[in-house]
């Protein structure tokens, strides 16, 4: 089948919010032309050669009936072919002001108590809503993406799934009718088979019979999907193999949703009558209530120092949480865009599940652009600059440990962190904090710069996905806070996995489909949790906020050791921000890593451990040898979008973080890490789909899950590498 064109290569940004113009590829139209030809041609021949006799000798209703079915089939075919499946317009730049380099690749949301991760789409520049996927053929993100059907040369998504489904049903019926009536004709003319009528009838029957098998098979498949409330994409990637589908409402309701729901609106090509609204100062302001005034006083006063009012609100959350923040958070927005108010980005606000829209707490240095990502990653020098923070870092790490953990995400997106004690912890884990965590402190001390940025990256991708909202926040923390918080920690050598960062995603032509992050299976997140939990005792500071939603253990704030994990961009940032802001960030970073590490340590499956350590150390030396994202990984097949090719980078990232971690580790707790990490790495590979490492990660996960001190969350892992956490 095929004629899949490879899709647009490097499609640039066309209109402000529309897909870029794509080159004309005639090969894409072959299947749809063939399908149309067969359908219309065969039916026409049937009507011309077979129907007259049937009408006279059997019944005159036959042609009417067949015609009705045929028209219905044709109408549904046309709707499935020409209707916009639910394409999302490209996000505007304002929505994502975050430095791509630091943005986490996944954000997690909770749907009916099940964690679902949203992946960053580099092409469309937003975090894909649940069930949305990017089609490489059409180069668009499609809502409720089912698959790309070559026979209709269109994606099947929310808006046209119903028509596609009806098309399949009616086509099956039509094929059966044509075949059946042709058979009746042939059986009544056994001696006239050499006449043209009979010959044509038999030819039509052959075509019908030939197409009946695949069409009926596909129809049956979709009937099952509709009944189960799944999309083809989800089915093929095995997202819900564990049996938990957050989108199903029961068989009957699923069917009625497909067939009877209102026609969804299209997002593209809308031309609303925009009436200009005049905005003229002076502006009304609400009176500050007593409580608000008090709240402002109570926060640790850092905000007052901030001249940038924009980040104030975001800082509020962060700062109130991190009472021990020692240095006023840097006026991040100004660093990056001096003079330009820091806008809250859409992406950042996604980090919190139900949080107030966070204002991105930008720690970032003035990175110029996505191109920087690579630069940051491959400049260990920058890391060294961060080392200067060492002197302060220990104390900061100490104090900020917990807060950093928490605040980090919050810094990134305000609310996320604060409330999410759980999330924070987790986030730390998934960001790659695990490996970086323990290393964080060590890194601080030793100034291990190398893998800093790298590690952060790799973790971001998977942990965040699984981790719940907190994870999201964590990931965001990676984005900016990390660099600030734990420059040293992150320096650890995390193998930066390109996939884990938005920036990387944005740079590849097929960003949407990059699935490196899948390597970091969500399954690992639970490990983070436990890790974080265990790490929490290390924190001298404030009690971690109770986990939000996920029931995870409050641990949180992983100690600085994990910091190193934080991320590659830290290095760059360190260069720029050597003040307290870095300190703040560092703490946070460490925790996630630590959490992560801890998660892996408990499981007894340690075979990968020692080799992992070696591997990690090796990788540490070679931060730049990261495997570049492979654009081709984006599967062109409809269902395979979510499949992530096995990519080494993520594991590398893990390994990188691991080594520093071990260096920094002081407690016995950390010992088992290598083994655990190995397992985790295996888990990382899961994303891609079925790989050997997956199996290793599974047992780890299993162990981890069972050993989790705090219950309330059950993790279900899908084959596709997606892990869903269900709050119990």
Closest CB 636 distance from other proteins, rounded Å: 23
Residue corresponding to tokens 């139209």: 29
Q: Report the residue from 166, 417, 675, 679 that binds other proteins according to the rule CB under 8 A.
A: 166
* Closest approach of other proteins to the CB of residue 132, in Å: 9
Nearer to other proteins, 219 or 303 (CB): 303
* Binding-residue pattern over the window 329 to 348 for other proteins, x denoting contact by CB under 8 A: ------------xxxxxx--
320 lies in the site for other proteins, by CB under 8 A? no
CB of 131 to other proteins, least distance (A): 6
Instruction: Considering the complex, state which of residue 91 and residue 478 has its C-beta at the smaller distance from other proteins.
Output: 91
**Triad 482, 672, 552: Cα angle to 5°:** 55
DSSP letter for 545, please. Answer: P
User: Residue 90 or 102: which CB sits closer to other proteins?
Assistant: 90
Which of 279, 291, 297, 728 touches other proteins by CB under 8 A?
Answer: 279
DSSP 1-21: --------TT----SSSSPPP
Residues 552-581 touching other proteins, rule: CB under 8 A, are: none
Peptide bond into 658 cis (omega under 30): no
Nearer to other proteins, 92 or 192 (CB): 92
Q: How far is CA 287 from CA 284, 292, 356, 703, in A?
A: 9, 9, 20, 54
- We find the least distance from the C-beta atom of residue 126 to other proteins, in angstroms, to be 6
Question: How many residues sit close enough to other proteins to count as binding (CB under 8 A)?
Answer: 82
User: Closest by alpha carbon to 587, among 300, 412, 394?
Assistant: 394
Confirm if 364 and 99 have CB atoms less than 8 A apart: yes
Given the complex with other proteins, which of 15 and 220 has the nearer CB atom?
15
Smallest gap from Cβ 471 to other proteins, in A, equals 15
Q: Which stretch binds other proteins (CB under 8 A): 187-195, 349-357, 511-519, 715-723?
A: 349-357
Count CA within 13 A, CB hemisphere, residue 459: 60
Q: Which 248-277 residues touch other proteins, going by CB under 8 A?
A: 249, 256-257, 259-265, 267, 270, 272, 274-277
Give min distance, CB of 341 to other proteins, in A. 5
Q: Which is nearer to other proteins, 16 or 23 (CB)?
A: 16
Q: Give the x-and-dash track for 209-248 against other proteins (CB under 8 A).
A: -------------------------------------xx-
Please, what is the minimum distance in Å from the beta carbon of residue 8 to other proteins? Answer: 20
Site for other proteins in 363-402 (CB under 8 A): none
**For other proteins, the closer CB: 112 or 188:** 112
Nearest to 460 by CA among 409, 507, 520: 520
* 3-state secondary structure (DSSP) of residue 291: helix
Q: What is the C-alpha separation between 557 and 562, in angstroms, rounded?
A: 9
Judged by CB under 8 A, the chain residues 479 through 508 that form the site for other proteins are: none
Stretch that binds other proteins, among 23-31, 284-292, 660-668, 699-707 (CB under 8 A): 284-292
CA 687 to chain CA centroid, Å, is 11
Least separation in angstroms between CB 230 and other proteins: 13
Catalytic one of 132, 149, 155, 206: 149
Give the interface segment with other proteins, choosing from 24-32, 286-294, 320-328, 679-687 (CB under 8 A).
286-294
Beta bridge partners of 501: 104
Distances (CA, A) of 351 to 245, 354, 408: 22, 9, 12
DSSP 87: B
Other CB atoms closer than 10 Å to residue 14's CB: what's the count? Answer: 13
Of residues 106-165, those binding other proteins (CB under 8 A): 109-112, 116, 126, 129-131, 143-144, 162-163
Residue 316 interacts with other proteins (CB under 8 A)?
yes
Decide: residue 176, CB within 10 A, 0-12 exposed, 13-18 middle, 19+ buried: middle
Quick one: three-class SS letters along 427-492?
Answer: HHHHHHHHHHHHHHHHHHHHCCCCCHHHHHHHHHHHHHHHCCHHHHHHHHHHHCHHHHHCHHHHHC
Token pair listed for 620: 């540490």
Smallest gap from residue 570 Cβ to other proteins (A): 26
> Per-residue x/- marks for other proteins, 621-660, CB under 8 A?
----------------------------------------
The answer to whether 149 is a known catalytic residue is yes
C-alpha distances (whole Å) from 130 to each of 246, 367, 640 are 10, 30, 16
518 contacts 686 by C-beta, under 8 angstroms? yes
Give me the least distance between CB of 353 and other proteins, in Å please.
8
Site for other proteins in 53-92 (CB under 8 A): 71-72, 74-75, 78-79, 88-89, 91-92
What does 374-443 look like in DSSP terms, one character per residue?
HHHHT-HHHHHHHHGGGGTHHHHHHHHHHHHHHHHHHHHHTHHHHH-HHHHHHHHIIIIIHHHHHHHHHH
Contact 158, 84 (CB under 8 A): no
Compare residues 346 and 517 and give the one whose CB is closer to other proteins.
346
Would you count residue 187 as binding other proteins (CB under 8 A)? no
Q: CB-wise, 251 or 259, nearer to other proteins?
A: 259
Residues 400-419, one symbol each (x = binds other proteins by CB under 8 A, - = not), give --------------xx----
Smallest gap from residue 115 Cβ to other proteins (A): 11
Q: Is 728 in the site for other proteins (CB under 8 A)?
A: no
The residue from 103, 350, 417, 562 that contacts other proteins (CB under 8 A) is 350
Binding mask 296-315 for other proteins (x = CB under 8 A): --------------x-xxx-
Q: Report the half-sphere exposure of 565 (CA within 13 A, side-chain side).
A: 49
**Active site residue ranges:** 149
């Amino acid at each position: 089948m095929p004629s899949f064109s490879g899709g647009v290569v490097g499609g640039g940004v066309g209109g402000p919010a529309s897909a870029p113009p794509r080159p004309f590829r005639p090969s894409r139209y072959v299947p749809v032309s063939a399908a149309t030809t067969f359908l219309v041609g065969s039916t026409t021949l049937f009507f011309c050669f077979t129907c007259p006799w049937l009408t006279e000798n059997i019944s005159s209703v036959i042609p009417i009936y067949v015609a009705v079915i045929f028209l219905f089939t044709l109408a549904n075919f046309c709707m499935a072919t020409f209707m916009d499946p639910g394409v999302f317009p490209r996000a505007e730049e304002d929505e994502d002001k975050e430095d791509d380099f630091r943005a986490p690749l996944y954000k997690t949301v909770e749907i009916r108590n099940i964690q679902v991760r949203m992946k960053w789409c580099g092409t469309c520049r937003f975090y894909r809503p649940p069930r949305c996927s990017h089609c490489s053929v059409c180069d668009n993100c499609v809502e409720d993406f089912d698959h790309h059907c070559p026979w209709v040369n269109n994606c099947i998504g929310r808006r046209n799934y119903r028509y596609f489904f009806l098309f399949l049903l009616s086509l099956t019926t039509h094929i059966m009718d044509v075949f059946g009536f042709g058979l009746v004709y042939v059986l009544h003319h056994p001696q006239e088979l050499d006449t043209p009528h009979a010959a044509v009838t038999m030819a039509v029957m052959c075509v019908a019979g030939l197409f009946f098998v695949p069409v009926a098979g596909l129809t049956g498949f979709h009937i099952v999907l509709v009944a189960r409330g799944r999309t083809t994409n989800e089915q093929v990637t095995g997202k819900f193999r564990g049996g938990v589908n957050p989108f199903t409402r029961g068989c009957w309701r699923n069917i009625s949703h497909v067939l009877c729901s209102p026609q969804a609106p299209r997002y593209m090509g809308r031309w609303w009558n925009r009436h200009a609204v005049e905005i003229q100062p002076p502006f009304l302001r609400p009176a500050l209530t007593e409580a608000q005034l008090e709240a402002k006083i109570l926060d640790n006063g850092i905000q007052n120092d901030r001249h940038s009012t924009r980040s104030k609100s975001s800082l509020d959350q962060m700062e109130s949480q991190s009472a021990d923040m020692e240095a006023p958070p840097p006026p991040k927005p100004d660093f990056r865009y001096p003079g330009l108010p820091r806008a809250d980005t859409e992406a950042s606000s996604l980090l919190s599940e139900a949080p107030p829209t966070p204002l991105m707490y930008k720690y970032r240095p003035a990175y110029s652009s996505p191109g920087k990502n690579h630069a940051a990653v491959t400049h260990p020098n920058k890391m060294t600059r961060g080392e200067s923070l060492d002197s302060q870092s220990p104390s900061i790490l100490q104090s900020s440990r917990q807060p950093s953990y928490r605040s980090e995400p919050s810094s990134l997106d305000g609310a996320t962190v604060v409330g999410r004690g759980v999330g924070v912890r987790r986030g730390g884990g998934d960001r790659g904090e695990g490996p970086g965590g323990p290393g964080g402190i060590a890194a601080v001390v030793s100034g291990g710069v190398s893998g800093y940025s790298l590690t952060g990256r790799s973790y971001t991708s998977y942990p965040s996905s699984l981790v719940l909202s907190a994870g999201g926040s964590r990931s965001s923390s990676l984005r900016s806070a990390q660099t600030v918080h734990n420059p040293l920690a992150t320096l650890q050598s995390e193998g930066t996995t390109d996939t884990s960062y938005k920036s990387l995603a944005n740079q590849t032509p097929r960003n949407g489909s990059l699935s490196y992050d899948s390597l970091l299976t969500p399954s690992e997140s639970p490990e983070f949790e436990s890790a974080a939990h265990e790490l929490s005792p290390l924190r001298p500071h404030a009690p971690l906020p109770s986990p939000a939603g996920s029931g995870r253990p409050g641990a949180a704030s992983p100690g600085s050791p994990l910091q190193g994990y934080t991320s590659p961009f830290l290095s760059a940032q360190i260069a720029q921000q050597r003040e307290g802001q870095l300190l703040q960030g560092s703490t946070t970073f460490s925790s996630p890593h630590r959490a992560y590490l801890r998660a892996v340590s408990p499981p007894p499956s340690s075979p990968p451990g020692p080799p992992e350590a070696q591997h990690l150390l090796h990788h540490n030396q070679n931060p730049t040898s990261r495997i570049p994202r492979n654009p081709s990984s984006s599967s062109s097949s409809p269902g395979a979008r979510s499949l992530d090719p096995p990519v080494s980078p993520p594991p590398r990232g893990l390994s990188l973080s691991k080594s520093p971690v071990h260096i920094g580790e002081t407690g016995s707790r950390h010992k088992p890490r290598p083994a655990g990490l190995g397992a985790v790495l295996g888990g990382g590979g899961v994303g891609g789909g079925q790989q050997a490492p997956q199996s290793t990660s599974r047992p780890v996960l299993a162990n981890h899950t069972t050993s989790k001190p705090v219950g309330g969350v059950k993790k279900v892992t899908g084959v596709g590498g997606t892990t869903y956490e269900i709050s119990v």
